[in-house]
């Protein structure tokens, strides 16, 4: 970015580090799902950082759905992400990467809405080709990350406003990092989840094709909330494993 | 409703009738998917109604995703609903029932958002019980409509504002009618679609439980857009049939 | 409403009463702006109700912008409404009336959005006439409440979906009560605020006329948030007094 | 921006030029408010560009509120911007600058929403200082553009997510261009409009201070829609002139 002189303040970087260390504790099972976390004061002591830093880290872990605080009782682990997460990502940077979803979601949802109103035939063809390429990539056992990005670019382009493309370009690094994790976890584990990603893309494109701007916006938002949840396996993620099992048993 | 003296004006009722007749034509295959519809002038002549009435009917068919107009070329059938639709519903009233989704969606999405902020333990238990009851009903081959309504009531109740319950109560009739059609079409045809309904409810409840108001609102919106699309089988409905097939072939 | 069997539970009615009593304390100046409120435990004791009831009442006072809690310090009065409020309204019912804004805002915002897409010439004329009637009423020193309601009805009607009219009809009583308070406080005090109400209506209608659905929705939301704030004089209300003064001094 | 290789396609740049020329015609009074524009075919001929280029330019003029098409009748001028506009801006670039409001609005609205949830005392102080500095600048007859930008930066910073600051930084050029025009037109003409800008900022900050995220988002959206409308004087802009007059007469 032009003049990206804004570096996160020291407090914010410290909070990212503390976030990463608590996340490591959760991923490794030291703090298991349902466990009560140490108090703010105890965490402040054991990480040797100030309480505002700990509070900031806990707030972000809450926002990301990993922990939940119960008024007057304490803070509990609500989700245990895949143990592979620590291999796929630098946990002290994960908090920062996940924050990119906040602007990304509003930008891509608005782009999908506008795309439904303005798309040309060429836009639809390009988005469709990106979905087919993703399908092939996944069928060949690849992650399909380039094809995934190509689809999102095609939607932004279809919005008929270059600023959307430029701004999403500026988010390229955190988008790529989080996409890698989500696609890799899907690749390793769940055929259901992989088919869902293709299906989610298809629904977005169908709504854009049908010029249904409200549905296009809603499907894009759904897709990105799922994508964010997939990075950390938080519970309201589409329960693909269960569904895989259920469907198998109906066959 | 208290003093529901507002009857749809004559033009609106005529438009509903014309909507129903064109829908019959589409459902019966007289106008097949991809076909060009007769012009406004021709439809006006053959239905013996004014052109504003025809225009109104075409606008609603477009809003409902059944037809699509191409600038300077004409209007085309984009979706062919199940032929069972005409048995399940009075097509001349279907247009009116589908319009109930417009206020329903904004009310239930806001209720879900507030529920994530205000729900009590009892609210969560009630919503959870409704999902389990729906699962049992569907497993026994029933439609599960009462259980479905019970879930939506539980969410509205969890919003901590009785006006939401009252207003949704006032929409009871069109909600029941459209729910019946959607659940019956799912019952007859697709195990995938039935599992999805349960899954969609579960995700809404998980987000409410996790106090994630943005996800709760987004999941409710997604669920209701899917429910509306299911009545008419419009194309951006989750393609459960295809997915059933795809998953079968991976097993 | 049809079968309004849902009565607020005992806890909710108690919370409304406690809300009203604290509000009386604030309005009378016993708890002045900036003052710290007694603790949950003390309030529970002095009102002889359980702590969950007190907590519920405090939550609603916070939502309505009257008090604000500071983590670990206490709860403070943030706004002192007009002392006339207790004459204009039954304070134990005010909490319930104010809750009607939650569904009302989402319904009227969606109605304004749809009105911009579907309004007929007759709809625009009717809404315009309602604004002119409101202007005359206010100029004659009247509240103009009927004319205000007529404008909102005209917008709902312009949405081309009778369900919006019916549902807003069901909210008639709390809407009338809160509108009375807001208009009466404006009538007594501020020529600026009265002109603003007309101006806000005019902007909504201009956006609907211009078929700008996003602006229409945004202006309606702004108008209703201001209307809710006007009932209690909360601080982010358009500071009409200050503006009146400022403009006077520039003349 | 990092690698801003995306240049608007030839068609888009041509459309911007045609937009600028029609805008010149409107501003100069050649096409007066209420006048019917020449047809697409005629414009295509007189500007020697293809019809899709003309259509694109007309769509953008419609989106920007300058013209309005009436089905089957023609396209009419709905707003006549200030004749000063052509001195303040390069009209062939104005269309592109105005497009920046589309991503800007969703980003700043989300930033305001998050700021209400996460702001620190220092954030509030900084935003407050920016408003006071803007007030002084305007009182001294300056545009106050730096102070205006400082306020928006302060809100973005209060969102607790550096990506918002970075992305708004990338929009700096079009934001500065459109802000200059709006502030300069306000400076020359209307004391009312200038006071409103300060008042709009104050309301946003009050809502952020009161931790009312819904109001903060709504006020920011209102402010930016007004700011966009101010560049072109479109009709649903707060009618400050009329209000100035009205208030004067009440004094």
Among C198, C203, C216, pick the best mutation site for testing chain D contact (most D Cβ within 10 A): C203
Nearest CB partner across the interface for D215, out of C191, C206, C225: C225
List pLDDT tens digits, range D114-158. 999 999 999 999 999 999 999 999 999 888 999 999 999 999 999
Q: So what's the pLDDT on residue D89?
A: 85
Distance from CA of B26 to the nearest CA of C (A): 24
Paired tokens of D160: 């607790």
Instruction: State how far the Cα of B173 lies from the Cα of B166, in Å rounded to an integer.
Output: 13
Paired tokens of B82: 């199940």
CA dihedral C24, C29, C34, C39 (to 10 degrees): -50
CATH architecture of the domain formed by A100-250: Up-down Bundle (1.20)
Label residues A142-174 b or e (16+ Cβ within 10 Å = b).
ebbbebbbbbbbbbbbbbbbbbbbbbbbbbeeb
Which one has a higher pLDDT value, A99 or D242?
A: A99
Instruction: State how far the Cα of D208 lies from the Cα of D200, in Å rounded to an integer.
Output: 13
CA dihedral B166, B168, B174, B175 (to 10 degrees): -140
Q: Which residue of C has its CA nearest to B2?
A: C1
Distance from CA of B222 to the nearest CA of C (A): 17
Among C211, C216, C222, pick the best mutation site for testing chain D contact (most D Cβ within 10 A): C222
Q: pLDDT grade, residue D71 (50/70/90)?
A: confident
Q: Which residue of D has its CA nearest to A55?
A: D118
Nearest CB partner across the interface for D161, out of A99, A107, A110: A99
List pLDDT tens digits, range A89-119. 888 889 889 999 999 999 999 999 999 999 9
Neighbouring subunits of A (3+ Cβ pairs under 8 A): B, D
Distance from CA of C5 to the nearest CA of B (A): 9
Q: Which residues of B touch A76 (CB under 8 A)?
A: none
Between chains, do D247 and C246 touch, taking CB under 8 Å as contact? no
Strand ranges (E), D55-170:
67-70, 74-77
Q: Which residue has the tokens 């951006």?
A: B236
- What fold, for A10-86? Arc Repressor Mutant, subunit A (1.10.10)
Residues of B at the C interface, defined by Cβ within 8 angstroms: 1-4, 6, 8, 12, 59, 99-100, 102-103, 106-107, 109-110, 114, 118, 159, 161-167, 169-172, 174
List pLDDT tens digits, range A116-170. 999 999 999 999 999 999 999 999 988 899 999 999 999 999 999 999 999 999 9
Q: Which residues of A touch D2 (CB under 8 A)?
A: 1-2, 169-170
Spell out the residues 6+ positions from residue A163 whose beta carbon is closer than 8 angstroms to its own. Answer: D99, D100, D102, D103, D171, D174
Q: So what's the pLDDT on residue C10?
A: 57
pLDDT at C158 over 90: yes
Q: Which of C178, C157, C179 is nearest to C168 (CA)?
A: C157
Distance from CA of C185 to the nearest CA of D (A): 18
CB D6 within 8 A of CB A165: yes
CB C56 within 8 A of CB C15: yes
Nearest CB partner across the interface for C250, out of D191, D210, D225: D191
List pLDDT tens digits, range A173-223. 999 999 999 888 887 777 777 888 999 999 999 999 989 999 999 999 999
Residue C48 burial by Cβ neighbours in a 10 Å radius (0-12, 13-18, 19+)? exposed
Q: Which residue has the tokens 């406004």?
A: B40
Nearest CB partner across the interface for A210, out of B211, B212, B236: B236
Distance from CA of A142 to the nearest CA of B (A): 16
β partners of residue C76: C36, C68
Paired tokens of A97: 């990467």
- Residues belonging to chain C: 251
Q: pLDDT grade, residue D79 (50/70/90)?
A: confident
List pLDDT tens digits, range D23-59. 999 988 899 888 999 999 999 999 999 998 999 999 9
CB D15 within 8 A of CB D60: yes
Residues of D at the C interface, defined by Cβ within 8 angstroms: 65, 68, 78, 191-192, 195, 199, 202-203, 206-207, 210-212, 214-215, 218-219, 221-222, 225, 229, 234-236, 238-239, 243-244, 246-248, 250-251
pLDDT at D205 over 70: yes
- Residue C76: enclosing H or E segment and its boundaries? strand C74-77
β partners of residue D69: D75
pLDDT at B226 over 70: yes
pLDDT at A85 over 90: no
Q: So what's the pLDDT on residue B199?
A: 92
Q: pLDDT grade, residue B168 (50/70/90)?
A: very high
pLDDT at C124 over 90: yes
- Planar angle of CA A59, A61, A65, nearest 5 degrees: 115
Instruction: State how far the Cα of C133 lies from the Cα of D169, in Å rounded to an integer.
Output: 47
Paired tokens of A67: 């922990």
Q: pLDDT grade, residue A12 (50/70/90)?
A: low
Among D222, D227, D248, pick the best mutation site for testing chain C contact (most C Cβ within 10 A): D222
For residue A67, give the 3-state DSSP assignment. Answer: strand
Q: pLDDT grade, residue C161 (50/70/90)?
A: very high
Q: Which residue of D has its CA nearest to A15?
A: D160
Paired tokens of D245: 């007059």
Q: How many CB pairs under 8 A join B and C?
A: 89
Nearest CB partner across the interface for B107, out of C6, C107, C161: C107
C10-86 and C100-250 agree in CATH topology? no
Distance from CA of A10 to the nearest CA of B (A): 28
Q: So what's the pLDDT on residue B8?
A: 47
DSSP track, D202-219: HHHHHHHHTT-HHHHHHH
- Residues belonging to chain B: 251
- What fold, for D100-244? 1.20.120
CB D137 within 8 A of CB D184: no
Between chains, do B163 and C3 touch, taking CB under 8 Å as contact? no
Q: Which of C184, C180, C182, C178 is nearest to C230 (CA)?
A: C182
Q: How far is CA C128 from CA B6, C63, C215, in A?
A: 21, 34, 18
Nearest CB partner across the interface for C211, out of D68, D211, D229: D68
Instruction: State how far the Cα of C154 lies from the Cα of C171, in Å rounded to an integer.
Output: 16
Among C16, C106, C107, C121, pick the best mutation site for testing chain B contact (most B Cβ within 10 A): C106
Between chains, do B199 and A244 touch, taking CB under 8 Å as contact? no
Q: How far is CA C184 from its chain centroid?
A: 13
Average pLDDT over residues D211-229: 95
Angle between the N-to-C axes of helices B91-99 and B51-63, in degrees from 0 to 180, rounded to the nearest 10: 60
Q: So what's the pLDDT on residue B225?
A: 95
The interface predicted TM-score (ipTM) is 0.87
Listed by start position, the domains of chain D span 10-86, 100-244
Spell out the residues 6+ positions from residue A103 whose beta carbon is closer than 8 angstroms to its own. Answer: A167, A171, D107, D110, D161, D163, D164, D167
Instruction: State how far the Cα of B112 lies from the Cα of B164, in Å rounded to an integer.
Output: 10
Percent of chain C exceeding pLDDT 70 equals 88
């Amino acid at each position: 970015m032009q003049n990206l002189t804004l570096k996160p303040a020291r407090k914010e970087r410290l909070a990212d580090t503390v976030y990463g260390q608590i996340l490591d504790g959760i991923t490794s099972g030291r703090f298991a799902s349902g466990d009560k976390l140490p108090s703010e004061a105890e965490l402040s002591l054991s990480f040797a950082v100030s309480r505002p830093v700990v509070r900031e880290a806990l707030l972000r872990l809450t926002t990301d759905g990993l922990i939940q605080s119960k008024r007057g009782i304490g803070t509990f682990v609500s989700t245990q992400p895949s143990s592979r997460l620590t291999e796929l990502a630098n946990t002290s940077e994960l908090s920062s990467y996940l924050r990119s979803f906040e602007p990304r979601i509003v930008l891509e949802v608005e782009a999908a809405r506008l795309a439904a109103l303005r798309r040309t035939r060429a836009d639809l063809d390009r988005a469709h080709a990106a979905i087919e390429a993703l399908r092939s990539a996944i069928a060949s056992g690849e992650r399909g990350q380039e094809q995934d990005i190509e689809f999102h670019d095609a939607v932004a382009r279809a919005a008929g406003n270059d600023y959307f493309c430029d701004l999403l370009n500026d988010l390229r690094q955190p988008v790529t990092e989080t996409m890698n994790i989500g696609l890799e976890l899907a690749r390793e584990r769940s055929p259901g989840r992989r088919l869902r990603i293709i299906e989610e893309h298809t629904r977005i494109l169908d709504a854009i094709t049908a010029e249904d701007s409200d549905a296009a916006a809603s499907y894009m938002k759904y897709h990105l909330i799922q994508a964010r949840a997939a990075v950390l396996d938080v519970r309201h993620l589409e329960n693909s494993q269960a569904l895989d099992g259920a469907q198998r048993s109906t066959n």
